[in-house]
Every structure is written in structure tokens, then in C-alpha cells.
Amino acid sequence: SGLSEAASTWLKLGNRLLVTSRPYGLTEADRGRLGLPHAPIEGLSDPLQDLLAQRWFHILEECEEAARAYARDVMRHVREREGLGDLVSNPLFLTAICILYNEGKRLPQDKHDLYARIVDTVLWNRFRDPATIDKVRNRLCVVAHGMHTGEELSAKRTTPQASVTFDEISRMLESYLEKSRHTEAGFDDLIGVRELLLSKTGLLLPRGLEQAGFYHLSIQEFLAAERAWDLASDGLARVFVQRARVPEWQNTLSFLFGAQLSKSTDPERSIDLIEKLMQRVRARDLGLQVVLGDCLEILLGKGIRLPKAEEKFRRLCKKAIDNEVSLRERNRLGLMLGKLDDPRIVQDLRDKAAYVPIPAGEYAYQDGRQSIEKPFLISKYPVTNSQFAKFLVEGGYAHEEWWSKEGWEWKQKEGVSEPLLWRNARWNNPSQPVVGASFWEAEAFCRWAGGRLPTEREWEAAARGKEGHQYPWGNNWGDGICNTTETGLGVTTPVGLFPKSRSKPFGLEDMAGNVWEWCADEFRVKAGDELYVGRVVRGGSWGDGRDLVRSVIRNWWLPVDRDDYVGFRVVCGSSPGLG
């Protein structure tokens, strides 16, 4: 109040006035009374995030190139992970991530350790006293758990809340005090403790009038899991079974499993937990299946395999996909299935079991008919990352015999050694179709596999069949029937995730949506004096709507294009019994 009264006089005398505050330190009304321009400090932009990481690693590495490589790796690593984008715009959180990365920690297997370091780093920068930090951390855990469960308020809550009132925080802390008389001796000023959490921790913040919430939902989830572990370390299976059915709890349970693994000196306790849950999970328990998938992924990242548990999980995933459960759960289960050696996919495309036979005969083509004179085999799925990996392992980019003359010249000139998005976690799940591969790379892979790219006539015959359907499954559209813009996913899905979209005549998967597919045919376009020679692509993608995934639609890309919209299939010649 005094400042707002003095500000006008100071400014008239020619002085400059700068007021700094945390975002919640000045209300909108306060800012209006001051009459000063308001300039909130933005989070770090992507270039500034890169710069911070480079400078941080520069301190540790004598070699400048090594420092830049570390910085590139850590930024790619975190940007590819859902939910971390908001955190890395904060310089303190980004520093904590760099520290952990330098210690050899990686996501997702070390997610719990990452968040523990973030919380500890933030609190250390504000309190400096270990004993105080422990108390503050415990109190934050109590508030986060209360927001999740309502238990500290004597009110059972199924779904976590992202904000609570100041009064509710006071009641949570009061309940905690009654149960912690020895560890919280001297805890007699509830309002003072609450205000300390809100004004100094940087983790629990005011959110409007008499409301508060955590800086980021994942911080709340982590702290709630810490408290849950303290309360039920010997009864975790019950917590998982009870809470997993609520989607808003699933990330917290992933943190809870990470806590069990991190806080126990013996990983067998975590393995026992997984095995107990695997005995109890049923096909209808989709939430628990999703959480178990996260837990198995954490163990997989730490080099721990559980053959029996993984086998049951694969069966549950396949059943969920066949039953077409909700797309969110189906996609998450499909991604996890890919990491655990997807049994649906024949991994080596030199094995004819990976193909579907297409007999010779009369087929629909565009607005007319065509004759397929020789039977052929076409891969059941678009080529997946796991299938393409064999080409890489066997030196496919190093052996000229698999490449066309134009393709080899392009590869040599560009220094290409793998698909463009090969190391991007958004696109490189083993069961997702490989993307970021040019026409030349797709062509080389097909030759290595003993086949070739399909002609567009072959592709359309396989997609439409002799009846000439508009879509592979028939003539009627349904939103969510395949991976297009209508699903809202905005990314490729594991192959074979949409059973209703299988081609009606042959049972081929993903012939509509997910990725456009390279065909062997040229597509010539003249623009002014320029002649562009592209290659045909068919089938539509995750980024297209219902009209563009019709089986008659033709599109084209330049052979050097390496987009996240485009994949391919392999065609092989006839085999005995076809025709």
C-alpha cells in the first residue's frame, strides 16, 4: 500500500521504479494500483534450453564437441517424453535434469529418481538446511496425498484434484500434526506453516483467490506417491488394485513403483509386487494393465526381465486390441507390447510368414478395373521399426548392392546412416511403422528383404479387393476406425491397433491411415518450367482426414523426402499355391 501511494510521486520526479515479485506475490489489483507496466518472465525457450544445457556440460567436459553432444542428447531425451516440456522451461528444473543425466540416469526407468532430484534441488535452493528441507518435503507430500485421496480431510476422493483451498491445506496439516507429534514438535502455527509452503517452496503455489496447486501436476503425483509409499509400503498391491482403474492415478502409481524400487535395497520386493499384481489382473482391468505396462518398462530399462509376467501381459495386450478397448488404453498397451517383443509381428521380413498372399485376377482400380496377372505377397503390416532394425544391424546402409544407383549417390552425398526419426522416442517404438525413411531407403530395405516396393496397382488391388471398396474394410466410414486426424492422437500408432480397419478381402492391417506408403511408380508434376519427379504414396496417414484415406486417393512425395507421415510395405513374388 505504501509503495503504491509513493510510486506516482517518485515517477514524477524522474526516478525509475522496478518491482520484482513471484507470480503470486502481486495480485492483478495490486498491479493496477502501482500503475506500472507488467512484464512476466517467460520460461526458457527451446534455444535457451539448449544453451543452458550446453554451458552446463561445458563445465564438466574438456572437449567442446563432447559437451555439445551431451547437451543434444539430454534435450532430445526430455523433449520426447510426455509431460516434461513444461518442466524444462524452468532453468532450475532443467539443471536438475542435467545433473541426473550426467549421473547416467535415464527415462523412464529412472523417473522417480529424476523427480526426487528436482524436488530436492528446488528445496535446497530455498532453505539450505537439511533438517528443514526434510520437514518441508514431508508436509508437501501430505498436501499432495490429500489432494489425491482426500484422506487427510476425512473425505474419500476417487479422482485427484489439481487445486485445493487454503483452508483445506490447513486441515491437512492439522491432521498430519496429530499423527506426528514427535517428528513435528513445535508445529503449532498452522497458518505460518501453510504460508511458508505457499510462499517459499516454489512447488506449492497460490492459484487465484484462496486456492493453491502444485507447480506442475507431475510434481503433485510424485509427492503423493512418496506419501503413499510411507503409508502402505507393505500393502502396495492393494493400493495398485484400488487406484489403477482411475486414469488420473496411473502416473502416480508409476511413481509409486519407482519409489518401491528406489527405496528398497532388494529389487526382489518390486518383482514380488509385479508378480502379485499379475496374478490378480484380469482382461477387464484395463487400468491395472496400463500401470503394469509402465512397471514392466521401468524394469526393462534396468535390465530386469520377468518372462512369465511378460508373457501374460502380452496375452492381455493382444486381447485388449482384439476387443478394441478404448483407444487411449489400447494405444498405451500397444506401445508397451512393442517393447516386450510384439508376438503379432514376424520380425524378419525375409520370412514369408510375414506376408499375405494376393491372388491374380480382376480387381477394381480407380474408376475402372484392372488385371493382376501374377499373384504376389505383400507384408501384413507397414514395415515396423523392429523389422527395419535388422536391416541396420546387418549393415544395410553400408552395402551398395541393396541400393539403386540414384539412392546410393543420395545416401553418400547426405551422409545418411539411418532413418531421420530413428532416435526420436515419439516415433521409434518397435511396433510403430518406421517413418523418416526416404523412397531410396525404403527401396534398399525391400531389396535386402528379397522383395520390392509395390506398384500402386498392386497396392490398390490389395487394399480394395475385387469388390472395389472405398476403404479397405468396406464403403462406410466410422470415426476412430483407423488412425487419422479424427482420432486426435497426432502420431503414428503401433501397427494392427484397429481390428475393424483390416482389409475385408485379405486381412491386411493399416492400409488406411497411420502412414502413407511408398509405391514404386513415378509421379510427374510440372510447375512452370520445373518438372518434379516424385513417387506415388497411397493410403493416407495419421495427419489426414477421412477423405484422404480412401483407397483410391493418390498422393506423391519427392524420393528424398523423409517425413513422419510416410512408411512403406514390401512385396515379394509369387509362391507355390497362389493364383
Cα atoms in the 13 Å half-sphere on the side-chain side of 115: 30
Band of residue 314 on the pLDDT scale cut at 50, 70, 90: very high
Task: Report residue 563 as a C-alpha cell.
Answer: 517425413
C-alpha cell at 234: 507393505
Closest CA to 430 of 392, 493, 486, 385: 385
Q: What is the pLDDT of residue 484?
A: 97
Cα–Cα distance list, 512 to 17, 132, 284 (Å): 62, 59, 29
Smallest CA-to-CA distance from 170 within 207, 148, 132, 196 is with: 196
Question: Which residues make Cβ contacts (< 8 Å) with residue 153, sequence separation at least 6?
Answer: 146, 168, 171, 172, 175
pLDDT of residue 519: 97
Q: At what angle do helices 307-322 and 327-339 cross, to 10 degrees?
A: 140
Question: Who has greater pLDDT, 188 or 413?
Answer: 413
Question: In whole angstroms, what is the distance from residue 38 CA to residue 16 CA?
Answer: 14
Does residue 37 surpass a pLDDT of 60? yes
Query: What residue spans of 449-526 are helical by DSSP H?
Result: 456-464
pLDDT digits (tens, 9 = 90+) for 366-384: 888 899 999 999 999 999 9
Asked if 493 and 471 touch (Cβ cutoff 8 Å), the reply is no
The cell for 62 is: 574438456
Q: Which three cell numbers stand for residue 26?
A: 502481486
pLDDT at 175 over 90: no
Res. 362 pLDDT band, cuts 50 70 90 = very high
Checking if the pLDDT of 285 tops 90, the result is yes
In whole numbers, what is the pLDDT of the chain averaged over residues? 90
Q: For 18-40, what is the mean pLDDT?
A: 82
What percent of the chain shows pLDDT beyond 70? 96
Distance CA 88, CA 332 (A): 24
Give the C-alpha separation, 288 to 284, whole Å: 9
Q: What is the arithmetic mean of pLDDT over 345-357?
A: 96
- Residue 137 pLDDT > 80: yes
Mean pLDDT, residues 408-419 taken together:
96
Q: Which residue has the cell 483407397?
A: 551
What the block records as the C-alpha cell of 179 is: 499423527
Give phi and psi for 283, each to the nearest 5.
-60, -30
143-147 mean pLDDT: 95
| Alpha-carbon 462 to chain mean position | 32
Q: Please tell me whether residue 16 adopts helix, strand or coil conformation.
A: coil
Which DSSP category does 60 fall into?
A: H
Question: Mean of the pLDDT values across residues 564-574?
Answer: 91
Q: Where residue 578 falls among pLDDT bands split at 50, 70, 90?
A: very low
CA separation, residue 121 to residues 78, 131, 141, 198, 502 (Å):
18, 15, 16, 17, 51
Query: For residue range 503-557, what is the model confidence (pLDDT) as tens digits?
Result: 988 999 999 999 999 999 999 887 778 888 999 999 999 999 999 999 999 999 9
Q: Answer yes or no: is pLDDT of 579 > 60.
A: no
d(C-alpha 22, C-alpha 418), whole Å: 46
How far is Cα 306 from Cα 278, in angstroms, rounded to an integer?
Answer: 11
Segment 339-344 shows an average pLDDT of 94
pLDDT tens across 463-499, in order? 999 999 999 999 999 999 999 999 999 999 999 999 9
Stronger pLDDT, 100 or 481, i.e. the higher one: 481
Q: What are phi and psi of 406, to 5 degrees?
A: -65, -40
Give the per-residue pLDDT at 63.
78
In this predicted structure, what is the pLDDT of residue 518? 98
Contact (Cβ atoms closer than 8 angstroms) between residue 544 and residue 513: yes
Residue 245 predicted with pLDDT over 60: yes
Region of poorest pLDDT, from 81-90, 396-405, 443-452? 81-90
The HSE-up count of residue 329 (CA atoms within 13 Å, CB side) is 27
Tell the burial category of 31 from Cβ atoms under 10 Å away from its Cβ (0-12, 13-18, 19+). middle
Q: How far apart (Å, rounded) are the C-alpha atoms in residues 214 and 222?
A: 11
Q: What is the DSSP letter of 435?
A: -
**185 — pLDDT class (breaks 50, 70, 90):** low
Angstrom distance (rounded) from CA 490 to CA 510: 16
439 within 8 A of 518, measured Cβ to Cβ? yes
pLDDT range class, residue 4, cuts 50, 70, 90? confident
